[in-house]
Homo-oligomer: A and B are copies of this chain.
């Protein structure tokens, strides 16, 4: 039995969204399953001194072009949402507050709502409506859900980003 792939992502990341649409089939091609692990990029930024791409001079404008072109390259429906980026605490808690077998459909629904349909997933009402559409009714204020969300944020990932999927695919075939 091969180990599952750990997939860390933030619900406000365009690259995370593209990866979310691609990682399942990639893993399946190599007989792997995926453990989905949404986290909060803002907390990671505090550790790295980073900031959301759109706020960075030059890189901000470039990143918007790269989001759109990368989405076309991967054949994924995408529009840059407004507002962008947003807090994803509510989305993250909804994920960890839902039954395990419903989490992946929920994650995909949240991502598509935000990046294809321009629904603001920073708003708890929107998150709960999307959750209901895939049969989930999470309690976003439950302490255990808050704690689980916080605990996931500190983890690390050995392959960063959709732009390493070619390396990941070869690695799964044969580590190099």
Contact = CB atoms under 8 A, between A and B. Distances in A.
A98 interface: no
B170 A73 contact: yes
Interface residues of A, number: 26
B62 A56 contact: no
A83 B176 CA distance: 26
A142 interface: no
Given A48-B56, A176-B72, A163 B163 contact: yes
A163 B164 CA distance: 7
A72 B47 CA distance: 29
A176 to B, nearest CB: 5
A93 B65 CA distance: 32
Contacts of A161: 163
A166 interface: yes
Contact of A160 (B62, B72, B164, B166): B62
